[in-house]
Amino acid sequence: MKFFIDTANLAQIKEAEDLGVLDGVTTNPSLMAKEGIKGEANILKHYVDICNIVSGDVSAEVISTEFEGIKKEGEALASLHKQIVVKVPMIKDGVKALKYFSSKGIKTNCTLVFSAGQALLAAKAGATYVSPFIGRLDDVSTDGLDLIRDIRTIYDNYRYKTQILAASVRHPMHIINCAKLGADVATCPLSAITALLKHPLTDSGLAQFLADAKK
């Protein structure tokens, strides 16, 4: 299973990269705004800065919602760096754009996916990644993990190559359950990745070993 970090914070990306388990980064307009990145030039530079920290795929989201705009924006983003993956919303023109980018060999991440039908469309359009938002489904009393399970079944039935990128991951159990269900990638906040490290028996066991080593 691949781990992506879901942030535009360079320090957190560096910390996750230094841990040695990071496979990529996802961002979105809200995460860029959270870091105070404003203006087209600054936004584009920030994507390049992220690409220079990690060696894997970096999702950069378009903000256009009609085909020509998505195409223009996505091509500009893809030309920034070979690691850029163009993130496209699951809307009608987005599906058309996924197909277009796929035909041009541009990697894509279909975002804001909340149903198996949307994930099926993304795969048919040739998306590299599909991003089901499991935490936001949980927020509305719908089990996000059921969606991961359904998408895995559908993609396996037809051998779709689109990778399931579990998004809106909030805590370590989301990561573990997504791994059990066969999601290809989980994109997570740094806190969820580092929470996987923790176990009280590890801490107490280490304390005992270190104490005994002094004897």
Residues classed as catalytic? 87
Which stretch, 62-70, 84-92, 128-136, 178-186, contacts ligand G3P (CB under 6 A)?
128-136
Residue 187 as a binder of ligand G3P (CB under 6 A): the answer is yes
Q: Please, which of residues 190-209 interact with ligand G3P by CB under 6 A?
A: none
Q: Kindly provide the b/e burial profile for residues 13-22, where b requires at least 16 CB atoms within 10 angstroms of the residue's own CB.
A: beebbeeeeb
Instruction: From 25-33, 92-100, 140-148, 191-199, give the range in contact with ligand G3P by CB under 6 A.
Output: 25-33
From CA 60, how far away is CA 66, in angstroms rounded?
17
- Number of residues interacting with ligand G3P: please give it, by CB under 6 A: 10
Closer CB to ligand G3P, 15 or 67, in the complex: 15
Contact 60, 92 (CB under 8 A): no
Q: How many residues does the chain have?
A: 215
Q: Which is nearer to ligand G3P, 28 or 100 (CB)?
A: 28
Rounded to the nearest whole angstrom, what is the least distance from the CB of residue 188 to ligand G3P in the complex? 9
In the chain, the amino acid numbered 210 is L
Decide if residue 23 touches ligand G3P (CB under 6 A).
no
Considering only 8, 13, 24, 28, the residue that binds ligand G3P (CB under 6 A) is 28
Tokens for 147? 């969606």
Phi/psi of residue 108, nearest 5 degrees: -135, 155
Which run of H or E residues covers position 59? strand 57-61
Q: Contact between 133 and ligand G3P (CB under 6 A)? A: yes
- Would you count residue 177 as binding ligand G3P (CB under 6 A)? no
Q: What does the alpha-carbon distance between residue 169 and residue 132 come to, in Å, rounded to a whole number?
A: 10
In the complex, what is the shortest distance from the CB of residue 133 to ligand G3P, in angstroms, rounded to a whole number? 6
Give the residue with the Cβ less far from ligand G3P, 26 or 162. Answer: 26
Is beta strand 185-188 parallel, antiparallel or unpaired with respect to 84-89? unpaired
